[in-house]
Amino acid sequence: MPTISEKILSKASNSTAVADDFVIADIDCAMAHDGTSVLAVKAFTEMEVPGVWDPERIIIPFDHIVPASTETAANLQHSIRQWAHEQNISNLYDVGEGICHQVLPEKGFALPGRLIVGADSHSCTYGAFGAFATGVGATDMAEIFASGKLWFRVPHTIRVTVEGDMKNPVSAKDLTLHVIKHIGTDGATYKALEFYGSAIETLNISGRMTLCNMAIEMGAKTGIVPPDIKTDIFLKGRAVEPYTPVYADEDANYIEELHFDVDDLPPQVAKPHSVDNVCDVDEVSGIKIDQVFIGSCTNGRVEDLEAAARILKGRKVAVRTIVIPASRTVLTEAIDKGYISALVKAGAMIAPPGCGPCLGAHLGVLAEGEVCVSTSNRNFKGRMGKGGLIYLASPQTAAASALKGEIADPR
């Protein structure tokens, strides 16, 4: 019987799609940001197609190098603005609106049962809403711009069940790193992950986005949390169109089933230079650090800033600490609730909504040999600067580490 992925791809391809089938599917929503839209538009232009398939279903957020840090970046962004205007693409979210993977759900495009593609590997984030969401290359995106269709190999699905009650300050990021440690960076290659269990059900939307965001770090094609009442509450007043939730059959055909318990899970840290090089925080506590980065599409939401502010309020950071809200909406809410004030008074720097140092482009690049505790999703060698060392952790662990100037247990 079908999984969520099989059902969504069956509907999108108007066929009976089962694992390993190849299908040509209709895309519900396509996204490319300032970094990837340039290549997609170049390929689209070379196709000599008169216009995009549906300008209302194309979303272009500027987030990777914003504000533009070089003339080259400024010129490329200018060209995309012009192209979007020529193609009547109204869903262009310019500098300051935020990270694509935060903006797209906020604007109501990430809906249950949808087939969503993005020219960015972390597009699997939208699976937090019960969508089949995945990343594609720029030339694939050009084909989507032209036709609204793309071919897929239907993935097998791994069912991941996580039970237990995490004890504060252990959070969704710790749960996610714990799962990645056991699955590995290639353990789910070209497979879908479906997440179930009491620990998943209790996660808020922010936590589910963190989890699905990092499905790609296990090699997965997508990660999906079945939609529920929390999904509906988030989407009320946001959804751009009506949606129909999709669920796996009770006897769905899973290629593998994995079980985890997080009752006694301590804070987790991924050591350089691999996301699955995960250990309990006490194994790395005391390592001196030079920088803390709290933000990114993984952990730049209001709940993340609240967690950091709760730890830092009334105290002073010991190292440079960069905080970047995931969107303008997140920033304004964090201002209204006093989180930004608490962070600034603690000595943190607040940067404009965007990706910032996550990809090593600007706003916090590391020097040779410097150590950073980051709430982002990747710690590859050279990711945040040649020779930098990145430890991935939760906002709580990052904030506690900022206070001490070394990796610290937030408990």
How is 30-85 classified by DSSP, letter by letter? EE--TTTHHHHHHHHHHTT-SS-S-GGGEEEE--TT-S--SHHHHHHHHHHHHHHH
Same domain, 71 and 23: yes
Domain-embedded: residue 221:
yes
Same domain, 283 and 165: no
Q: Which of 230, 259, 288 lies at the terminal end of a domain, its last residue?
A: 259
Amino acid 181: pLDDT: 98
Domain-embedded: residue 264:
no
Q: From CA 323, how far away is CA 372, in angstroms rounded?
A: 13
Q: From CA 396, how far away is CA 304, in angstroms rounded?
A: 8
Copy the structure tokens of residue 121: 């590997």
Q: From CA 161, how far away is CA 258, in angstroms rounded?
A: 6
Same domain, 151 and 284: no
Same domain, 96 and 73: yes
Same domain, 283 and 208: no
Residues 6+ apart with CB under 8 A from 23: 9, 12, 13, 15, 17, 151, 152, 154
Using the predicted structure, report yes or no on whether residue 171 has a pLDDT greater than 90: yes
Percent of the chain with pLDDT over 70: 100
| Alpha-carbon dihedral angle through residues 175, 102, 306, 281, given to the nearest 10 degrees | 30
Amino acid 115: pLDDT: 98
Same domain, 355 and 297: yes
Helix pair angle (138-147, 37-46), 10° resolution? 60
Give, in degrees to the nearest 5, the angle at Cα 131 between 6 and 89: 120
Q: From CA 222, how far away is CA 193, in angstroms rounded?
A: 6
Mean pLDDT to the nearest integer, 267-293 = 98
Amino acid 180: pLDDT: 98
Q: From CA 76, how far away is CA 55, in angstroms rounded?
A: 20
Amino acid 388: pLDDT: 94
Domain-embedded: residue 410:
no
pLDDT tens for 113-129 read 999 999 999 999 999 99
Mean pLDDT to the nearest integer, 173-196 = 97
Q: How far is CA 226 from CA 159, 168, 371, in A?
A: 12, 24, 37
Same domain, 255 and 275: no
User: What's the CATH code of the domain at 274?
Assistant: 3.30.499.10
Copy the structure tokens of residue 304: 């993340």
Mean pLDDT to the nearest integer, 378-401 = 95
Amino acid 191: pLDDT: 98
pLDDT tens for 308-339 read 999 999 999 999 999 999 999 999 999 999 99
- Structural domains counted in the chain: 2
Same domain, 281 and 231: no
Same domain, 290 and 240: no
Same domain, 239 and 295: no
Same domain, 114 and 255: yes
Mean pLDDT to the nearest integer, 267-272 = 98
Same domain, 125 and 67: yes
Domain-embedded: residue 325:
yes
Using the predicted structure, report yes or no on whether residue 260 has a pLDDT greater than 90: yes
- Domain ranges, residue 291: 270-404
Amino acid 351: pLDDT: 96
Mean pLDDT to the nearest integer, 6-28 = 97
